[in-house]
Structure 1
Amino acid sequence: MKELLENIKRNGNGNGRGESSLEKEKPLLIKDALFVRQEGTLVKVKHEDILWLKGDGNYTTLVTRNFVISVRNILKDFEDALPKEQFMRVHKSYIVRLDEISVISTREVKIEEDMVPVGRTYYQRLIDGIQRLSSE
């Protein structure tokens, strides 16, 4: 929380500007959650609410239990920020929350009603991650 307040103090709150410098920063972390910039405000997103993420160039879409939010951060920022034991990249453009996967095939995983693609090079790592998760 201290880091969040220092960033706001240093960079301003973004009101009255076309694009604040906070929009280009990595997601702000606190225990079990992160803050992302959305329309001039910081929105708290709990790790447990995130289902999966999709990267598209300089933007990432977070799909949560209650809403979908698009932010100006690259997918790698979230890959670095989210806990590795809970989240895994399964495709060059997708990260999923492992304990939300209900069906796995060599090409995709099912999370709630959504089908998320799995890249060929990520499949074995996905299986290893699921096995690690079940042994904990």
Structure 2
Amino acid sequence: MDRKTKILIVEDEMIIAANISLQLNELGYEVTGIVPRGEEALMHIKSELPDILLLDINLKGTLDGIETAREMQKTYDIPVIYLTANADEAHFNRARETHPYGFITKPFKKLDLQRAIELTITQIDLKVKNINGTDPNEEGLILSDCIFVRHLNSMVKVNIKDILYIEAERNYCRIFTKRKEYLLVLTLKEMDKKLPSKHFHRIHRSFIVNLSQIEEIATSHIVIGRKPIPISKSIKKELLQRLQTI
């Protein structure tokens, strides 16, 4: 069964936000949360990474929607769809600098929302396919102490010791460090084969963890970077044996 697309709603008009959430659930998407402020959105993303950000431009608070997107993009690469009741040229030009995947003008119909999200998912998949068409050696060069990953238009060095965990997303995976996350066009199975085994262990069908970054081992999960990651009883036993040897 395919994983549901996760969407975070950042909207300070709660009636509108609740209505959007209801529509998204009816369309088969998973709403990771509804938050009214940009600052809260940035905190939410740290603990529950969405696939798409539905972001109202005219947020109250310290950060408006466009400034929230800019702050988010310093660390994450999450597609943004803006919601706006004010589609004037000035707002559009400011918003365009953050390279959004779409705009939805209020008031909007369920079909407008559906089409914007479907187009965004299509663009994400196309982006992944385009990256897949590049030289595989350029996409993810895995060495004994670091990984070179494509980030925007260049190859970035990520030290093995700085990686917290790696999470599967469809046919690619996300590498999480304390400061940034990177998209890599490899399945988690392929990633598991290439990573230096002395540092990493696959503890779930969707997660590979850096053994040195484990902060807590609970009954049914471990904690890394304040994120709980599920683990089965059999793999937990295997993990404890691994930890005794490093």
Same fold (TM over 0.5): yes
C-alpha RMSD over aligned residues: 2.1
Paired residues of 1:59 and 1:75 also in contact (CA < 8 A)? yes
Q: CA deviation at 1:54?
A: 0.5
Q: CA deviation at 1:39?
A: 3.0
**Normalization by structure 2: what TM-score?**
0.43
Q: CA deviation at 1:22?
A: 2.7
Q: CA deviation at 1:87?
A: 0.6
What is the CA deviation profile of residues 7-60 of structure 1, one whole-angstrom value per residue up to 9, with x for unaligned ones?
xxxxxxxxxxx4442369772123411112233422211101100010122110
26-35 vs 99-108, greater mean Cα deviation = 26-35
CA distance in 1: counterparts of 2:208 and 2:153, whole angstroms: 25
Paired residues of 2:138 and 2:150 also in contact (CA < 8 A)? no
CA distance in 2: counterparts of 1:120 and 1:58, whole angstroms: 27
User: Greater RCO between the two (CA within 8 Å, min separation 6)?
Assistant: 1
63-72 vs 32-41, greater mean Cα deviation = 32-41
| Counterpart pick for 1:115 among 225, 228, 239 | 228
Structure whose CA Rg is larger: 2
Structure with the higher fraction of residues in strand conformation: 1
36-45 vs 50-59, greater mean Cα deviation = 36-45
| Counterpart pick for 2:213 among 93, 96, 100 | 100
- 2:240 maps to 127
Alignment of 1:22-61 (within 5 A): 22=135, 27-61=140-174
Paired residues of 2:144 and 2:196 also in contact (CA < 8 A)? no
Paired residues of 2:216 and 2:223 also in contact (CA < 8 A)? yes
Unaligned runs of 5+ in 1: 1-17
